[in-house]
Structure formats: C-alpha cells, structure tokens
Amino acid sequence: MRVVIAEDSTLLREGLTRLLAEAGFQITAAVDSAESLLTAVGAHRPDVAIVDIRMPPTHTDEGLRAAVALRRDHPGVGILVLSQYVRVSYAAELLDLGVDGVGYLLKDRVSDLTEFVAAIRRVGAGGSAFDPAVVGHLLGRRRAESDRLTERERDVLMLMAEGRTNQAIARSLYITERTVEKHCTNIFAKLDLAANPQDHRRVLAVLRYLNG
Amino acid sequence: MIVGAMIALVSLSYLTAGAASQKLRPGNTIGILMLIVGTSWTLDHLLTDVPFPVLLLARVWPAILGHLLIAYPTGRLETPGRRTVVAAGYTEMLTLVTTGYYAPPGEHWAEVAQSLEVPITSLVGFGMLSALFHRWRTSTVAQRRTLTAMLGASAVAIISFALWEPASRTGHAPPGIAFALSLSSIPFAYLTGLLRRRFDRANVADLVVRLNNAEPPNVRDALADTLHDPTLQIAYWVPTHSHYVHADGTPLHPKQPHPTQPHPTQTHTRVDRAGTPVAILLHDPVLDSELVEAACAAVGLALENERLAADLRARLRQLAESRAKVLSAAETERRRLERDLHDGVQQRLLAVAMTLALAETVPTHRSTTLLTEAKTSVLATIDDLRALCNGLHPPILTERGLPGAVRELTALTDVDLALTLDTPLPPEIETTAYYVVAEALANATKHADATRTSVTITGGPEELTIRVDDNGTGGADPSAGSGLRGLADRVEATGGTMRVLSDAEGTSVRVVLPCGS
C-alpha cells in the first residue's frame, strides 16, 4: 500500500516513515506542508495520505483544509487526519466528506502499531477509522439513546463507529461474527436507523446519527 | 424716659421676631413663644395691682424665654434633660408668683421661699447654660452657623438675668439698658438666622460665576462654601456598574443612619439631569433642601462634567485592580506550570530513559516488558502535556479562531448558538471571549442544572458582545469568589464590562469587550 505523509515535525515525520516502512507500506513521499502534500499526492497517486492538522505557514488547520482539497481533486485517495487533540467539530467536518476512505485519529495511536496499521489499511481500502475518543465523545452526548443499548451493544457500536469490520469487531470482543451481526441489527433497530446494518456505509449512518 | 424706651425695645423686638417667625416658619413654636415673651414682658412692666391670672401671665416671661432658648431651633424639647430644665424654670416662676401673691407679708415660709429665689434661679440658669453648651458642642459645623449667634445671645441673657436680682439686692444693679440690650439681642439673633436663608439663595447665583473663574473648577468646594457645610461630599453615578463613586473613583459605601441616633449626621440629596442620575450630595440634614436643590441646579453642568471625570477615574481604578489580579493570576499560573513540567513531564521522561537504558542491557525476552512499560509512560506524559497545553491557551482557538472554538465548545451540548462575527478580533479579546463562553456554559451545566442554554456572540466595529443565557436554578454570583470572579477580572482587564443576572428563573451572563483599535 502506497502512502504519502504530511507532517511538519521532522522527528515525527521520520518516525512515521520508519514505522510504516517497517510495517510494509511503501512511503512515496514525506512532506512538511499542506501545499507540498497536494503536489505529492498529484504526482504519486497514493492509496492513503496521512495528514497532520497543524502545518505551516499558519500552524492552524492547514491539514483539515488540505483534506477537503484532496477529496475534491483526488476523490480516490484515502485521507487519514492525525491530531494532537480530540475535536468533535473536526470529526463532523470530515464526516461531510463522507466516510469512504476517511479517518481521524489522535497521534497517540501510533503507539499501537497493529491497530494503527489496521486503521491505515482500512482507510486505504475505502473504509473509515475514527478515533475511539471521538466516538466516545459523540456517544456521551447521546446518553439518553445509548442508555437503551446493552453494554455489549455499546461496545459493538463504538467499534463499528471507529470503522471496523464485523470480523475485526468479533476478534476484538472475542465473539463470533454472527453475534456481532445480531448486535448490529439490534442497535440499528433501537436507534431507529434506516440503513442496512451490513452495508459498509453504516459507519456514516451511525456517526451522523451520533453527531446529529 | 430711657427706661421706657428700653422696655419698648424689648417688647417690640420679641413681638416683631415672633410675627416674622410665624410668617416664615408657621409650624415652628419658637414664633409663638417669642410672641408670648413679648406680651408677658410688656404686661410685666405696664401693669401693677392685677388679679392673679394676669399677674401669672405677666411674670412668666423668663420661664417662657428659657423654654424658647432650649427649644431653639426646632421648637421641640427633644431630650429628657432639656424638658427637666424647662420644667424647673416654670416651677420656679409659678412658686415665686404664687407665694408672692397669696402669702401674707411677714409669713415665715413665704420669706424662705422668696429667699431661695437667687440660688434656685442660679441653678436653673446653670442648667440651661449647660444644655446650651452641650447643644453647641454636639452640633455640626453647618448647624453651628445658625446656632452660634443665638446661643451666644442666650448665654449673655441668662447670665445677666441670674445676676440681676443678687446684684440689685447688694445695691450694685447694672444699668437697665445693659439688661434690655442683652434680652433684645436674642430676637435679633433669631431674625438674622431666619433671614440668612434668604441671603444664601442669593449666593447660589454666585456659584456659577465662581465655578467659571476657578481653575480647575472644584464643584465640591464651591458647593460646600455656598451651602456652609464643610462636611459636604459628592458621589457620582457610574451607569455601567449602577453605583456611586467618589470623585477619585472609589466606590461609595453610604453610611447607614444609626437607628438610635435621632439626628443622622448626614443625609443625601439626589441630583438628576434629564431623568438620569448624575450624583448624590451627602450633606448635613440641617441644610435647607430647597437651597441644596437650587445650588445643584446651578452647578448641574459642572456636576455632569465631574461625573464623567469620576466615571473615568472609576474605570481606571478598576482596570488597574483587574490588571493587577490578572497579572498575579498569570504569575501563579506560571509557577504551577513550572512545577507541573518539572514534577510531571521531566521526571516521567527521565524514568523512561532509565527504563530504556535497562532494556538495552537485559536479554531480549525481558526487554519487551520494559519497552512496553516505557511506552505506557510516554503516552501518559503526552496526556499530561496535552492537559497543560489546554490550560495555557486553548489550542482550538489557535486553529480555528473564536467561531470554531465556540462551535467546538457547544458541539456536545444542545446550545442555541447565534454567532455574528465579520472582522477578526485582537488575540486577547478572542481568548477572553472564549473563556467567557466556556465558563458560563460550564456554570450552566455543572451548577445550575440548565436544560436550555443559548449563546449569542455579536461582533461590531467597536465592541464584541457576548450573552449566555440559561434556564437553570440561578445562584451565579461573581462576588462570591467563583470562577466568574476571575472571569470578571479578565474581562475588566481588557477594558470590558461583565454583568451577571441570576435568579431562580435562570442566569444571564452579559459581557461587552472592546475590539476597536
């Protein structure tokens, strides 16, 4: 899988490059600004662009704006936004791009290589990866609705909202895929969600619902 | 001939002063007492061989005069001491007249009674003098202005009266003219006091001229002089805080009149211009209220100018106080930060370095555990740093400015957000505005159990207004040392204002921040 990295901190950029190369990714470019990111993506057509939010010249939200531009110019490229902080409003803005090939993770997640690599692969394959902290925030907001769910169903919902497949959810909760499917059907019924719980777009339905 | 003229002078002076008093101050008994003294004195010197009731009326004038002097200027006998001394005067007169009329000549007890006249008169006179002296000592400067002449004349009259009888018995009677003059000086002093109010009105007109000539004009001194009250104070209205301040900008704490004290030493007169308060005058209650109002009307414009100056001084004072508090809070914050960085981040990273050093030296199967331990430690350090950064300056403000930051604040709650912001804000105003919204929202959800909250932010060319309303249980009070107090300091340090209206219906936090250049 081909990856472009945009991160202005040299230390982190080098670290990510090393880490991902080790994990079997092909790093086609590692750049330090939003502008060079757009050029690099145009030149290399990677599967995923990993984008830091704060970058030169203003160190504010360049990464987010670059993500919007990338989606517009290169809709096929997956975008994984990395951030130092959890921002529900940023997640909402990314959701507006759709959930196909979109991810939003805290930088801390690089510490769990297995999970991090899985998230990049998901985004690269057109899936999604939303940080558990963001999902937790959203779920906390919908306390009244999420109270109707059982504890196990909430666990499944969290993992589903993060963008994981049923197979991954089953593995992570030590249950069978069939049980996961049953939980999903229950969740969608309890939350009154119209989407098909087996559809890959269910993440969008769940996140939009939570953020609504 | 001279004696007749003297008697007539005393009669006339009392009758005239009495009549004038009845006309100028109809409710005051002093006028009636003056008239009675004049009548009684006249009868006493015109008639001989009269029936007892007439004799009683003719002889009673010294007691009435004593009553008058003690009751001056209100006409009332306000303390038990004063009532006692006046009653003693009446009793003495009644006793003397009665015994003199009914007792056969040569009767022993009657002579005893008559011989007691001098000591008793001296005693009563002394009592009256003490009462007058006490009155003078406890009176205010403004009161003394009307009291002094009257009390001086009274003292002279009382002393002459008390000395008259013993002096004439020993054959050293002073000339009658002296006694008559001392007696008639009382109504003259009284009349002067009455007419002085008229002169004072004329002085008000000079006030304006005086203020125009003075450089710089001092309204307080001019008013104190014109109203003859050196204790006079002026406090000016500050509309933004709805309270009065002194000319130097310090807030006014009105002294509550003591309930057991019959005469509060200060009263106040409010000065309004075009329906809005300008100032209040704190002055002696003895001042004629019409005179005070006339004087205030004359200096209205000057008062308004002084009010603006006092308002400015109050703002500067508050600004300085808030700045000092914010600076000291910043200093405390820096110390806390240093401690957090030193005790937290540095120590943790050192521990990580040691763990990693250990991992280098041990066999591979043991190093894995150490590496995991080091990673956990580093992640915890990152968490610490994130919290520190959030406390230093909200990172979202850096990334998104006020609109984005407020949206993030309200993203997880059901808040009606109305945001109109066209121009970029100065950084310190943006940060202050952010903390206002954050603190008000935190109060609404944490302390007030609000179910509905609205945030309205409107940016203009000159100022930014923020309003956070909730329907919670109220109880927000910036003076109660909550987070709101620190917030108010922060707001005031930027030159803005913060008002908190909080009751059982909910809380409204209203902040105006200056954002013009």
CB of B379 within 8 Å of a chain A CB? The answer is yes
Q: Identity (one letter) of the amino acid at B491?
A: V
In the predicted structure, residue A201 carries a pLDDT above the cut 80:
no
pLDDT tens digit sequence for A44-102: 999 999 999 989 888 888 999 999 999 999 999 999 999 888 888 888 888 888 888 99
pLDDT (tens place) for every residue of chain B, 517 residues total: 677 888 888 889 999 999 988 888 888 888 899 999 999 988 888 887 788 888 888 888 888 888 888 888 788 888 888 899 899 989 988 888 888 788 777 777 777 777 788 888 888 888 888 888 888 888 877 778 778 888 888 888 888 877 877 777 777 766 777 788 888 888 888 888 878 777 777 777 777 777 777 666 688 888 888 888 888 888 888 887 778 888 888 887 755 444 444 456 678 888 888 788 888 888 887 777 778 888 888 888 888 888 888 888 888 888 888 888 888 888 888 888 888 787 778 888 888 888 888 888 888 888 999 899 899 889 988 888 888 888 788 888 888 889 989 988 887 777 889 999 888 888 889 999 999 999 888 888 877 778 889 999 998 888 999 999 998 888 777 777 667 888 888 898 888 889 888 888 889 999 999 987 5
- Best mutation target among A8, A11, A55, A60 (most B Cβ atoms within 10 Å) is A60
B chain contacts of residue A137, beta-carbon cutoff 8 Å:
412
Token pair for B168: 């004439």
* CATH topology agreement for domains A2-132 and A142-210: no
pLDDT of residue B174: 66
Q: Whole-angstrom Cα distance, residue B146 to residue A92? A: 81
pLDDT of residue B455: 94
Token pair for B512: 């105006």
Q: Whole-angstrom Cα distance, residue A184 to residue A153? A: 8
Half-sphere exposure of A91 (CA within 13 A, CB side): 30
Of the candidates B12, B172, B407, A69, the residue with the CA atom closest to the CA atom of residue A81? A69
A chain contacts of residue B390, beta-carbon cutoff 8 Å:
85
pLDDT tens digit sequence for A175-189: 999 999 999 988 888
* Distance between B256 CA and the closest CA of chain A, angstroms: 53
Residue A131 pLDDT level (bands cut at 50, 70, 90): very high
Of the candidates B79, B113, B71, B69, the residue with the CA atom closest to the CA atom of residue B94? B113
- C-alpha distances (whole Å) from B398 to each of A82, A94, B218, B412, B428 are 17, 19, 51, 20, 12
Q: Kindly tell me the number of DSSP H helices and DSSP E strands found in chain A.
A: 11, 6
* Distance between A59 CA and the closest CA of chain B, angstroms: 7
Q: Which residue is it, tokens 């001392």?
A: B182
Domain parsing of chain A, residue ranges:
2-132, 142-210
A chain contacts of residue B404, beta-carbon cutoff 8 Å:
61, 89
Q: Whole-angstrom Cα distance, residue B396 to residue B402? A: 8
Phi and psi torsions of B220, nearest 5°: -65, -50
pLDDT of residue B257: 45
Q: Whole-angstrom Cα distance, residue A127 to residue A146? A: 24
Q: Identity (one letter) of the amino acid at A196?
A: N
Q: Do the beta carbons of residue B37 and residue B29 sit within 8 Å? A: no
User: Is the backbone of residue A196 left (phi > 0), alpha (psi -120 to 50) or beta?
Assistant: beta
Q: How far is CA B69 from the centre of its chain?
A: 32
Its ipTM equals: 0.71
pLDDT tens digit sequence for A15-35: 899 989 999 999 999 999 999
A chain contacts of residue B398, beta-carbon cutoff 8 Å:
54, 59-60
Q: A2-132: what CATH class?
A: alpha beta
Q: Do the chains contact at A59 and B398, CB–CB below 8 Å? A: yes
Q: Whole-angstrom Cα distance, residue B511 to residue B323? A: 17
Q: Which residues of chain A from 16 to 75 reach within 8 Å of chain B, CB to CB?
A: 53-54, 59-61
In the predicted structure, residue A130 carries a pLDDT above the cut 50:
yes
Alpha helices, DSSP H only, in B284-363? 289-298, 300-339, 347-361
Architecture of the domain whose range is A142-210: Orthogonal Bundle (1.10)
Of the candidates B219, B201, B203, the residue with the CA atom closest to the CA atom of residue B278? B219
Q: Whole-angstrom Cα distance, residue B467 to residue B455? A: 6
Q: Do the chains contact at B411 and A85, CB–CB below 8 Å? A: no
A61 vs B379, B390, B399: nearest CB: B399
End-to-end CA distance of chain B: 90
Q: What number of C-beta contacts closer than 8 Å exist between A and B?
A: 40
Q: Whole-angstrom Cα distance, residue B274 to residue B307? A: 15
Q: How far is CA A162 from the centre of its chain?
A: 7
